[in-house]
Amino acid sequence: MKADIRVALVGNPNTGKSTLFNILTGLNQKIGNFPGVTVDKKTGFCALPDGRTAEIIDLPGTYSIYPKSKDESIVFSVLADKSKGMVPDLVVVILDASNLKRNLLLYTQIADLKIPVVVALNMIDVSEKAGIKINIDLFAKKLGVPVVPISARKNTGIDKLKNAIAFANSVALQQDTIDIESIAPGIIAQIKGEMQVDNPYVALQLAHQHETLSYLSTTESDRIEQLEQEHSFHSQKAQATETIARYNFINDLLYDTVTKPEAAHDETISNKIDKILTHKVFGFVIFFAILLFIFQAIFSWSAYPMSLIEDLFIWLQAGAAKVLPAGPLSSLIIDGVLAGLSGVLVFIPQIAILFALISILEDTGYMSRVTFMMDKVMRKVGLNGKSVVPLIGGFACAVPSIMSTRTIENWKDRMITIMVTPLVACSARLPVYTLLIALVVPNRNVWWVFNLQGLALTAMYVLSIFSAIIVAFVMKFILKARERGYFIMELPVYRMPRWKNVIFTMYDRSKTFVLQAGKVIIAVSVILWVMKSYGPGDRFARIDKQYAQPQYTKTMTPDSLTKVIASEKLENSYAGVFGHVIEPVIKPLGFDWKIGIALISSFAAREVFVGTMATIYSVEGDADKLQSVQEKMHEAKNPQTGQPVFTLAVAFSLMMFYAFAMQCASTVAVVYRETKDWRWPAAQFAYMTALAYTASFIVYHWLK
Amino acid sequence: MKLSQLEVGETGIVKEFTDLEMSVKLMEMGCLPGEEVRISRIAPLGDPIAISVSGYQLSLRRFEASTIILQ
C-alpha cells in the first residue's frame, strides 16, 4: 500500500499509545524491523477523512528523547535521521490528560525537533472525572499546535483526531519551548555548521547521543567527541539544565491552562488495590497463586487443542501416505516435514495461553507491582526486578522472553537475565519430561493427595528456577558492570485489560514463535530424516543383498525380516554411525547410541526428542501393533545384557541433561540477535552443556 | 533530610540532589526541585519504595531515594 503521509505516534508508556494505534490502523498492521536494529517496528495504514491514506508508525513508549533502553534509542533516530527517508511528515504526541506534567516533557522535546505536531489528549474522560479542568483552546494556542481531546479506550474523539491529522500543516508551527542554544552555545553552533544540521535541538542531541546513534559515521561521531572535549561539554549537566528549563516552561503553561481540585483524592481505587496486592504477606501469596494458576491454565486448557492439532497431523500423514506414491519423496514429506511441523504447531496453544495471561498481567499494571515486590530478592542474585517478567515467560518459551529483556535498562542485569532465562523449564521440555516420568515413575498417590508423577514434574520445574537463580548469582561476580543500576519506574494505575490488545499480543507472539522456531525444527527434521534414511558407502546395499539370500528369506517371516533389515539399516545410517561415534562420551551418563541420536538431534530443539525416539524405536516395534512411543521405549532392551534400557537412573539422567543443556537453535539465534556478539551464545552454550553433563553424571551414578 | 528517611504517608518538598546521574533520571520522571513528594508505600521486603510525585506513582530504590534532599 502506498501512503500519502507518514505519521509517527510518540508518547510515554502507559498512555494508551498502542490502543490508539490499534484503533487507527485496525487489523491493517504489520511488524518489521527498523533498519540496522532489532527493535520491532509496528506500522499500519489509516484512511483519512480527505480520502488520503496515512502510514502510522508506532514508536516505542518513552518518557524522554534521551534513551534509557535499547528500544527507546530508536525514537530520536527515526525523527532526526534524514538520510533514510524515514522522517515522518507529522508526529502525533499522545499525552495522558490525567498526568500532564510528566507527559509534557516529551512533548516539548519532540516539538523542538520542529517536525509538525498534533497533540492527542488521551484519557480526557479519566481526567474530567478526577476534576481536572483543562482549557484546551488556550492550551493549543500556547503550544501552537492542534490539540484533540480523545479517549482511546472509549473510542471517542478519534474522528476529530483523524481530521487534525489530515488537515495538519506541512510546516512546523509550534511555539518554541525553551532557549536551546543557551544550554551549550559553542558546541551547538559548531555541529550545526559542520554537519549541515539546521535545528539547534537536533545538534544538541547529536552531542548527547552520538556514541549510540547508528546513522552517524565513525568520523562524524569522532568529530563530535572532539568537539565535546574542546567545549568541555558535560552531557549529564547539560541534560539537567535542559530538563529544569523544560519543567519551568511546563509549569508556566499548566498554571495558565489547567486547574486541579484542591482536595487530594487520596484513597483512589488503585491505592486500595495496591494495599492488598503489595501487602507484606498477601502480596506474595497472591503472586504465587497467580503463578500456580498460570501453570494450571497452560497445561489444562491447552490439552484439548493440542490433541486436536496432533490428530490433525496424524490425519494429514495418513492422507499423504495414501495419496503419494511410496518412495523417498513421500517418506520425506510424511516423516520429515509433516512430523517436524506437528512438533512445532502443537505448542501453539500453550504459547498462546501463556502470552495472553502475561499480557493481561502487564496490561492491568500488575506486572510492575511484581517487579516492585521482587526487586530486592532479584538484586541479591544479580538480577533486577524487571527480570521477573522474562523468567516467568521462560516457562513458555525462552525466545520471546529473551526479546522482552529489552526493557531492562541496565546492561549487566540484562545480560545475566538473557544468560539464565534458557534454564527455566520451557514448554518444549514438557513433552520430554512427561514421557520419561511416565516411563519410570509409578502412577500412584503418596500422602493421599500428591500424585508421584506430578511431584516429579513439579520438582523439575522447581529445579529449573533454582538453577537459574544460582547461575545468576555466580554470574553477578563474573560480569563487570558497565553502568550503575537503578530502579526508577512508574507504577501505573490499575486498569481493566484491553481485550483487543491481549488478543493482538497473543497473536503476535505466537506468530513470532512459529516463524522463529518453526524454520529450525523443520530443517532439523529434514536433516534427521536424511541422516536416518541413508548410510555411508554401500552399507545399505550390502544389507539388502545379505538379507535377500535364501537362508534369511526362507527361514524368517516377511514381517520379522523387514524389522531386522530396518534395524540394521538404522545402525548403519549416518545417524547410527554418528550415534556410535559419540557413544563413548555419553556412556558415563548411562546413554546408548540410540539416545545419542536423540540427544544430538535435540540440540536443534528439545521437542525433537519424542519424535526421534518414536522413529528410532518404531523399527523394532511390531508392524501390526501401533504402539505408543512410551510402550516402545518401555520394551526396549539392551542387546548385550537383556536389561531394560530406560531404568530410573537413565531416565532421570536424561531429564537432567534436558533441564540444563542449551538444546535450542532458536534461542542461540535470538541471543546472538539481542547481544550482537557470538561470544554470548557461545559462552551460554558451553556453560549449559557443562552443567548438563555434570548433573546427568551425578544423577546417573547416584541412582544406578 | 533525605527522602529515604520519610515514613509511609509523610510528605516533603524536593530541594536538591546529591548525585548528578540519578538526578537526571529522577527529574525526567517529574521528580525535581520544588515538587512535593509523598511516600505511598514500601515494598514487602523493605525496598524499593513507591512515592507519589507530580500526580502519579513512582517506584525507586532506597539508595536512589537517599540522593534526594528535602527542604
Interface mutation vs chain B, best among A62, A100, A102, most B CBs within 10 Å: A102
User: Measured between CA atoms, how close is A65 to chain B, in angstroms?
Assistant: 10
Judged by CB atoms closer than 8 Å, whether chains meet at B25 and A271 is answered as no
Indicate the pTM of the whole model.
0.82
- Examine the pLDDT at A632 and tell me if it is beyond 70: yes
- Which residue in A199, A204, A249, A247 sits closest to A227, CA to CA? A204
Are A73 and A110 in contact, with CB atoms under 8 Å apart? no
Q: Tell me what pLDDT residue A244 has.
A: 93
**Closest residue to B27, CB basis, from A244, A368, A376:** A244
User: Which domain does B26 fall in, by range?
Assistant: 3-70
**Closest residue to B57, CB basis, from A237, A279, A491:** A491
High-pLDDT (> 90) share of chain A, %? 32
Residues A597-616: tens digit of each pLDDT: 888 878 777 877 877 777 67
Q: Tell me what pLDDT residue A624 has.
A: 42
Q: Tell me what pLDDT residue A332 has.
A: 81
Give the integer Cα–Cα distance in Å for A275 and A284.
Answer: 12
Q: Give chain B's contact residues with A (Cβ, < 8 Å).
A: 20-30, 32-33, 40-41, 43-48, 50, 54-61, 64
Question: Which grid cell sits at A431?
Answer: 513433552
Q: Taking residues A134-147, report their average pLDDT.
A: 93
For A239, nearest residue in chain B (alpha carbons):
B24
Label residue A628 by pLDDT band (50, 70, 90).
low
Residues A342-352: tens digit of each pLDDT: 767 877 887 78
Judged by CB atoms closer than 8 Å, whether chains meet at A237 and B20 is answered as yes
Residues with Cβ < 8 Å from A200, sequence gap 6 or more? Answer: A180, A181, A188, A192
**Closest residue to A488, CB basis, from B29, B33, B43:** B29
Contacts across the A-B interface (CB distance below 8 Å): 109
CA atoms within a 13 Å half-sphere pointing along the CA-CB vector of A184:
30
Label residue A137 by pLDDT band (50, 70, 90).
very high
The lowest-confidence range among A41-55, A317-331, A620-634 is A620-634
| Sheet of strand B68-70, all strands in order from the earlier edge strand to the far edge | A489-491, B56-60, B49-53, B36-42, B11-17, B68-70
User: Measured between CA atoms, how close is A372 to chain B, in angstroms?
Assistant: 7
Judged by CB atoms closer than 8 Å, whether chains meet at B30 and A101 is answered as yes
**Closest residue to A376, CB basis, from B47, B54, B55:** B47
- Range among A180-194, A444-458, A498-512 rated most confident: A180-194
Measured between beta carbons, which residues in chain B are less than 8 angstroms from residue A266? none
Structure-model confidence comparison of residues A226 and A350, the more confident one = A226
For A66, nearest residue in chain B (alpha carbons):
B28
Taking only Cα atoms into account, the Rg of chain A, rounded to an integer number of angstroms, comes to 30
Judged by CB atoms closer than 8 Å, whether chains meet at B59 and A274 is answered as no
**ipTM metric:** 0.95
Give per-residue burial for A658-676: e unless 16+ CB within 10 Å, then b.
bbbbbbbbbbbbbbbebbe
Q: ∠ CA B31-B36-B38 to the nearest 5 degrees?
A: 95
Label residue A173 by pLDDT band (50, 70, 90).
confident
Q: How many helices (H) and strands (E) does chain B have?
A: 2, 5
**Closest residue to B43, CB basis, from A63, A375, A484:** A375
Give the integer Cα–Cα distance in Å for A229 and A187.
Answer: 10
Judged by CB atoms closer than 8 Å, whether chains meet at A102 and B54 is answered as yes
Q: Tell me what pLDDT residue A27 has.
A: 67
Q: Alpha-carbon dihedral of residues A433, A434, A438, A440, nearest 10 degrees?
A: 0
Strands A445-446 and A147-149: unpaired
**Closest residue to B61, CB basis, from A377, A487, A491:** A487
Judged by CB atoms closer than 8 Å, whether chains meet at A373 and B43 is answered as yes
Interface mutation vs chain A, best among B49, B61, B66, most A CBs within 10 Å: B61
Judged by CB atoms closer than 8 Å, whether chains meet at B44 and A487 is answered as no
Give the integer Cα–Cα distance in Å for A404 and A387.
Answer: 9
For A264, nearest residue in chain B (alpha carbons):
B55
Q: Tell me what pLDDT residue A7 has.
A: 94
Does the CB of A12 have a partner CB in chain B at under 8 Å? Answer: no
Measured between beta carbons, which residues in chain A are less than 8 angstroms from residue B41? 274-275, 278
For B42, nearest residue in chain A (alpha carbons):
A278
User: Measured between CA atoms, how close is A440 to chain B, in angstroms?
Assistant: 42
Label residue A626 by pLDDT band (50, 70, 90).
very low
3-state DSSP assignment of residue A505: helix
**Closest residue to A236, CB basis, from B20, B48, B54:** B20
**Closest residue to A102, CB basis, from B22, B33, B56:** B56
- Which residue in B53, B19, B22, B23 sits closest to B39, CA to CA? B53
Residues A440-458: tens digit of each pLDDT: 888 777 777 778 888 888 8
Domain map (residue ranges) of chain A: 5-166, 185-259, 505-703
Residues A68-88: tens digit of each pLDDT: 887 888 899 888 887 777 789
3-state DSSP assignment of residue A288: helix
For A370, nearest residue in chain B (alpha carbons):
B43
Interface mutation vs chain A, best among B23, B40, B49, B59, most A CBs within 10 Å: B59
User: Measured between CA atoms, how close is B62 to chain A, in angstroms?
Assistant: 10
Q: Tell me what pLDDT residue A266 has.
A: 55
Q: Tell me what pLDDT residue B16 has.
A: 92
Q: Tell me what pLDDT residue A246 has.
A: 94
Compute φ and ψ for B9, nearest 5 degrees.
95, -15
Question: Which grid cell sits at A242?
Answer: 535542559
Measured between beta carbons, which residues in chain A are less than 8 angstroms from residue B58? 488-491
Label residue A620 by pLDDT band (50, 70, 90).
low
Put simply, the chain A residues between 357 and 386 with a CB less than 8 A from any chain B CB are: 368, 372-373, 375-377, 385
User: Measured between CA atoms, how close is A492 to chain B, in angstroms?
Assistant: 7
The CATH number linked to B36 is: 2.30.30.90
Q: Select the CATH number that applies to the domain covering A5-166 from these four: 3.40.630.10, 3.90.320.10, 3.40.50.300, 2.60.260.20.
A: 3.40.50.300
Judged by CB atoms closer than 8 Å, whether chains meet at A487 and B28 is answered as no
Report the phi/psi class of residue A571: left, alpha or beta, with left for phi > 0 and alpha for psi in -120 to 50.
Answer: alpha
User: Measured between CA atoms, how close is B38 to chain A, in angstroms?
Assistant: 11
Judged by CB atoms closer than 8 Å, whether chains meet at B30 and A376 is answered as no
- Examine the pLDDT at A521 and tell me if it is beyond 90: no
For B27, nearest residue in chain A (alpha carbons):
A243
- Which residue in A424, A401, A415 sits closest to A683, CA to CA? A415
Compute φ and ψ for B41, nearest 5 degrees.
-165, 165
- Examine the pLDDT at A128 and tell me if it is beyond 70: yes
Omega cis (within 30) before B48: yes
Q: Tell me what pLDDT residue A34 has.
A: 64
Computed over every residue of chain A, the mean pLDDT equals 85
**Closest residue to B58, CB basis, from A239, A284, A491:** A491
Crossing angle (nearest 10°) for helices A282-323 and A348-364: 150
**Closest residue to A101, CB basis, from B40, B44, B55:** B55
Label residue A517 by pLDDT band (50, 70, 90).
low
Handedness of CA A465, A467, A470, A472 (dihedral sign): negative
Q: Taking residues A481-487, report their average pLDDT.
A: 82
Q: Tell me what pLDDT residue A625 has.
A: 44
Residue A181 burial class via C-beta count within 10 angstroms: exposed 0-12, middle 13-18, buried 19 and up: middle
**Closest residue to B59, CB basis, from A271, A284, A491:** A491
Judged by CB atoms closer than 8 Å, whether chains meet at B60 and A487 is answered as yes
Residues A539-548: tens digit of each pLDDT: 888 888 888 8
Measure Cα distances from A524 to A31, A84, A339, A530 in Å.
Answer: 27, 38, 11, 10
Q: Tell me what pLDDT residue A442 has.
A: 84
Residues A637-682: tens digit of each pLDDT: 777 777 788 889 999 999 999 999 998 887 888 898 888 889 999 9
For A241, nearest residue in chain B (alpha carbons):
B24
Question: Which grid cell sits at A245?
Answer: 528549563
Put simply, the chain A residues between 272 and 301 with a CB less than 8 A from any chain B CB are: 274-275, 278-281, 283-284
